[in-house]
Structures are given as structure tokens and as C-alpha cells.
Amino acid sequence: MKIAVIGSGYVGLVAAACFAEMGHSVICVDNDERKLSALQRGEIPIHELYLPELLERHLGRRLHFSNSIKDAVQACSAVFIAVGTPPLENGEADLSFVEAVAREIALSLNGYKVIVEKSTVPVYTSDWIRRVMKRTCTAGSGFDVVSNPEFLREGTAVTDFLYPDRIVVGADNQRSRELLREIYSPTIDGSYSAQADRIPEPTNSQTKPKLIMTSAKSAELIKHASNAFLAMKISFINAVANVCEQVDADIEEVRKGIGADRRIGSAFLNAGIGYGGSCFPKDVAAFRSVAQQVGCSFPLLDDVIKINSEQRHRFLRKVRETLWTLKGKRLGVLGLAFKGGTDDIRESPAIEIIKLLVSEHCSIRAYDPAAMDRAREVLKESVSYVADCYEAAEGADALLVLTDWEDFSQLDLKRIRGLLKYPNVIDGRNLYSREAMLNAGLTYISVGRSTLKPIASSEHAVDAISVSLE
């Protein structure tokens, strides 16, 4: 099938490349000329596993980039809208880009098309798109508007797209439902996963996803409610971690115990410095606005947001409790991205914590495997950027772990101990067992677990919740 994807941001670019991989002929449209020419040269603006391979396979063959919505709409049967919906100051999603694109699509129609809303949007958006297009349409061409939310995670977006748990199609008639079913048929019927040259499936993936057909409004709600629920799980476990710290229980043990109940599940129960990224903070706020607008009070979402924000300040307090005063202290920082596996620093808890530490006049030496260029744009030269974890640790009063990169969980701890000025590791992602740290002679402060201190180093940490090993 011929598919147009409007917007070459995270969702648009991944969707376009994956549709091409599934055998469709795709035109991806953007109005940013610099980005377009880079993409046409095969340069990818984001750090995403397998995306380079997909571009290499399909660019100029089944995948083309263009700056013309009109040309793309006229050449294709399905048009996916994947433009940004950034937050407004009051938390609502800004839908002006969606509206502008809907108008342009309407002016370009040359026959029946299915318009698919893929950006994360509040309920009623597909209704609005339909209304705006009807008002704008000059020709008598028919169209349907469908909501088809995405559930991609940055870092694993390509395999999430090709091997999804579920595909949600919110369509209000059979014709558009069937067209969407046809588009996704290679993943629905398992034929993609049977291809010899497929992108490898992740472990535990389902070979055949559930296809969930709903009304457009239900599909829009599924997206917001899914992200809000996952954010709630994270805030919940962080609140439990805080209780653990007070009663000397271990959040990692508690997490395993809770997660073993299949009704709860173990995913998204990792305690830490809170969630970030371009989705959860924005979507929880947007969902709260939607609920308010329709007259439903949803105070649970207020608490999810509050707990998340407090989690960063709790971490900062741990740094202070460990080092006493902060001014002039040298800190090694591992991680700038909002999570491991991505170069994205939007709403990154790591960046927020670093800014707070810089405002306290700490001297920061930071390392991230992928996000240093992006971080430099925001933090400028307020921190020093170093080549690896060990350089970050050198001469530091404490080493802070702020992002859950896999590499960070495999450090040579004895070497780290030798490099640090004082043997303090403050881990906001719980990447280590306390025993491993203790064996390496490090004082390890983490989230939801009491601190084990090597006896010799105890004078270097001022820690209210430390456990004596004597």
C-alpha cells in the first residue's frame, strides 16, 4: 500500500521506516528542510536501534522523503499524522500543528483517503480533524479519520513497532477498519516475523499481536490512560521505596514480591529518580487537563506528578546528607539521557538534578554514551564532559548514577574505588547490589534501600540511614 507519514519526528520517522520494512511504499513529509536533506543523505537525527539499518535498506526504494504534503497525500491511500503535540503552559496539548496539517491534507485530497491520527492527542481530536477537514475540503472526495495510537518506547521503538503487544485501531466504519487491518497485516498474521531478513525480535515478544478495534474516542483514551497508568506504577513504587527507607526494608525485594503477582506484573516497577522523557510528563498533564475539561476530578494524577517531582529532590537530599555541604564539591555524574538506550534529554531527571547541583556550586564531570551533544546544548559549559565512566569518577567526592544505561551496571568497581577521592556512589537507578558495592569498598547510597558502609570509609559519609555492619 502507498502510505504518507506527515512528520519525521520520533514517531513519524520510526513509523515510516517500519512501514517500508513491512513492504509498503512510504513518503515521509517534513517542513524542516535541513532535517529533510540530512534524512535524504541517510543521516538519522536520533539514536534508535535498527533505524540506521532500515534507512539503509529502504531509502530511495520503498522510503522517500518530501516537503510536500500535497504530493504525498495525492500519491497515497492512507495518511498518518505524526506531528508534535507539545504541552501548553496549562498542561493541555497544543494541537495547532495537527490542525494545520489536517487543513493542508483536506486541500490536497484527490480521492478517498484514510487519515490516521498517530500523534498522542486528547479524546475528541479525531472529531476535530474530521470537522476541520470537512470545512476546508473544496473537492467532493471522501475521507475517514482513524485513531491509531503508538506505544513505542524510545530506544526500542523499531522492535516495538514490528513486534507490538497490541495494535489499537479506533475507527468508526468498516472501510477504514479494513484498510488499517491491511496495513498492519504483516505483523498481525505473523508473516513479517517469518521473514529470514527480519529485524530480530526481542526476547519475550509475541509473534502475533492483538488487534484491538475500538471507536476513535476509545483509542484516544487508551493512549493517554496507558501512559498515565505506567507513570502511576512508577510513582507508586517510588512512594513505596520511600517507605522502605524509613523502615529499613529493601525495595528490590519488595518489588520482586509485588511484581510476581501476575495481576500487577513486574514491568515499570523500578524505583529511582522518577520518570522523564517527552511522553509521560506531557501525557499525564494532558490527561489531567482532559479529565478536568470534561468535569471529572482525577486527583490521583496530581499525586503521580507530585511524587515524581519530589523524587528528584529526595535524591538531592541524599547527596547533601552524604557530602554535608555541596559548594565546591566535585561530582562524577553517569548519565544525562532520560533513560538508557537513547540520546533524548527532554524532561530528563538527570538534567534537572545536575542543574540543581550546579546552582549549589558543585563541579560536575559528566558522561553519557549518547546524550552528551544534546546535553551540551542545554547545560552549556556549566559542567565538564568526559570520555568515560572512569574519567567521571577520577578525584570525585562522589559518583552519581542518574541514567540506567546497561554499561553503567558493569563497572569495574575496584577501579572506581581507586579513582574516587572519597568512596561514595549515590545511585538514582539502583543498578547495583549493595553487597557488590560493599565488597569493592564503596559506600553505596541508593533508592529504597538502606546504606551499607565499609567501616573504614564511614567518616566520609554523613548518612542518617546507614546500617552498621559490626
- Give me the residues paired with residue 456 across strands: none
Question: What's the CA gap between 226 and 341, in Å, rounded?
Answer: 22
Residue 227 vs residues 171, 282, 304, 315, 435: alpha-carbon distances, Å: 21, 10, 12, 24, 35
Q: Which is nearer to ligand UGA, 19 or 275 (CB)?
A: 275
Who contacts 365 (Cβ-Cβ below 8 Å, separation ≥6)? Answer: 330, 331, 332, 333, 383, 384, 385, 386, 391, 392, 394, 396
Residue written as grid cell 509473534: 207
Q: Which is nearer to ligand UGA, 13 or 133 (CB)?
A: 13
- Please report how close the Cβ of residue 197 comes to ligand UGA at its closest, in angstroms: 26
The residue type of 71 is: D
In this structure, are residues 258 and 297 in contact, taking their beta carbons and an 8 Å threshold?
Answer: no
Q: Which is nearer to ligand UGA, 76 or 221 (CB)?
A: 221
- Please report how close the Cβ of residue 74 comes to ligand UGA at its closest, in angstroms: 29
Q: Which is nearer to ligand UGA, 120 or 125 (CB)?
A: 120
- Please report how close the Cβ of residue 279 comes to ligand UGA at its closest, in angstroms: 3
Q: At what angle do helices 216-247 and 251-259 cross, to 10 degrees?
A: 140
Active site positions, annotated: 279
Q: Phi first, then psi: what are they for 54, rounded to 5°?
A: -65, -40
Q: Phi first, then psi: what are they for 149, rounded to 5°?
A: -65, 155
The site for ligand UGA (CB under 6 A) is made up of 120, 150-154, 227, 230, 234, 268-270, 272, 275-277, 279-280, 283, 338-339
Q: Copy the grid coordinates of residue 466.
A: 546507614
- Please report how close the Cβ of residue 40 comes to ligand UGA at its closest, in angstroms: 25
- Please report how close the Cβ of residue 267 comes to ligand UGA at its closest, in angstroms: 7
Q: Which is nearer to ligand UGA, 254 or 438 (CB)?
A: 254
